[in-house]
Amino acid sequence: MAQNPPLQGLSIVNTRANHQAEPLTTALLMQGASVLHYPAIAIAPPADTSALDAALTDALADVFDWLVITSANTVESLAQRLEIGASPGLATGHLRVAAIGTATAEAAERRLGVQVSVVPDEQIAESLANALAVQPGQRILLPQSEITHPLLAEALQAAGADVTQVTAYRTLIGQGGDPVPQLFWEGRIDAVTFTSPSTVHNFLKRLKAAGGNPGMLVDVAVACIGPQTAAAAASHSLPRPLQPDQSTLPALVQTLVRHFQERQG
């Protein structure tokens, strides 16, 4: 007799933005889960794109030694601005490109026409800074969310780099999705997944606006990608988060699989 999928019968919340939700949803469905969508964040261009456009103009003019990309959202934002400027891409001169992880690197190569030369073993800021091994005086373009923690910029500056940090996109509170607050009240949610600190903070803002509170997660598995996301969950006194060894969606799903298998004994 064939075994049931390990997450069968479990309802798991995907808090990613609508345009990013599909890969995680697919991975959870393959393990048998019922997936609820409750986008905690939405991505929008900067209110003023002049600084970003000026930085991209400099990149096309070979002003920078490195372009450092820390998310797929950054890739998409850069691609949209380059399309507006009718640029063929950022594969210019001696510009080298580093990306926080393989998925971001693949998106950059596909959307920006670049070759990513550095991807750290761990998808965290410290590992990316170490992998770059920048030389004093090197010029680095670092486009990020307006709410990104300055850890990476500070690490690169401490190594002597000349860092141009520019807002690539804004992170807003998401809307729509399944009736997750009501399902919490009914005890019909088994786990919630978070893939960035902003998904944690904005999820709880949405939950509170609907009359809920963090205590509703007390008996729910909370799964987080990366130490900063786990720290964000802990800052709201959420249950001790499950955190995969690797900051990837497959690893996140496998962490949930192991957790519920252990609970079943």
Mark which of 172, 195, 229 sits at the end of a domain: 172
**DSSP 8-state assignment for residue 241:** P
Mean pLDDT, residues 11-29: 96
Mark which of 172, 196, 227 sits at the end of a domain: 172
Looking at the fold, whether 152 and 207 belong to one and the same domain comes out as no
In degrees and rounded to multiples of 5, residue 242 shows phi and psi of -80, 130
- Per residue in 132-148, pLDDT (tens digit) is 888 999 999 999 998 88
Looking at the structure of the chain, the number of domains it has is 2
CATH number for position 115: 3.40.50.10090
Which of 85-94, 116-125, 201-210, 238-247: highest mean pLDDT? Answer: 201-210
- Per residue in 144-169, pLDDT (tens digit) is 998 888 889 999 999 999 999 999 99
Mean pLDDT, residues 21-39: 97
Give Cα separations from 223 to 30, 58, 155, 174 (angstroms).
17, 40, 28, 19
Between CA 100 and CA 102 the distance in angstroms is: 7
In a domain, 5, yes or no: no
Looking at the fold, whether 132 and 187 belong to one and the same domain comes out as no
Looking at the fold, whether 87 and 142 belong to one and the same domain comes out as yes
- Give the confidence band of 88 by pLDDT, cuts at 50, 70, 90: low
Looking at the fold, whether 163 and 179 belong to one and the same domain comes out as no
Looking at the fold, whether 168 and 179 belong to one and the same domain comes out as no
Mean pLDDT, residues 174-203: 96
In a domain, 36, yes or no: yes
Mean pLDDT, residues 214-232: 93
In a domain, 1, yes or no: no
CB 75, CB 107: distance < 8 Å: yes
Give Cα separations from 91 to 40, 68, 104, 108, 131 (angstroms).
34, 14, 16, 11, 21
Looking at the fold, whether 56 and 154 belong to one and the same domain comes out as yes
In a domain, 4, yes or no: no
Tokens of 128: 């990316």
Residues listed for the chain: 265
Mean pLDDT, residues 215-230: 93
**DSSP 8-state assignment for residue 11:** E
Give the CA count within 13 Å in the CB-facing half-sphere of 37.
18
Question: Which structural domain, as residue segments, surrounds residue 192?
Answer: 11-40+174-264
- Give the confidence band of 86 by pLDDT, cuts at 50, 70, 90: low
In a domain, 2, yes or no: no
Between CA 214 and CA 265 the distance in angstroms is: 28
Strands (DSSP E) found in the chain: 11-14, 34-37, 41-44, 66-69, 96-99, 116-118, 139-145, 162-173, 191-194, 221-224
At what angle are helices 125-132 and 151-158 packed, to 10 degrees?
A: 30
Mark which of 172, 193, 226 sits at the end of a domain: 172
- Give the confidence band of 83 by pLDDT, cuts at 50, 70, 90: confident
- Give the confidence band of 259 by pLDDT, cuts at 50, 70, 90: very high
Between CA 230 and CA 242 the distance in angstroms is: 8
Q: Give the per-residue pLDDT at 1.
A: 43
In a domain, 240, yes or no: yes
- Give the confidence band of 246 by pLDDT, cuts at 50, 70, 90: confident
Looking at the fold, whether 98 and 156 belong to one and the same domain comes out as yes
- Give the confidence band of 21 by pLDDT, cuts at 50, 70, 90: very high
Looking at the fold, whether 189 and 165 belong to one and the same domain comes out as no
- Per residue in 98-115, pLDDT (tens digit) is 999 888 999 999 999 899
Looking at the fold, whether 255 and 180 belong to one and the same domain comes out as yes
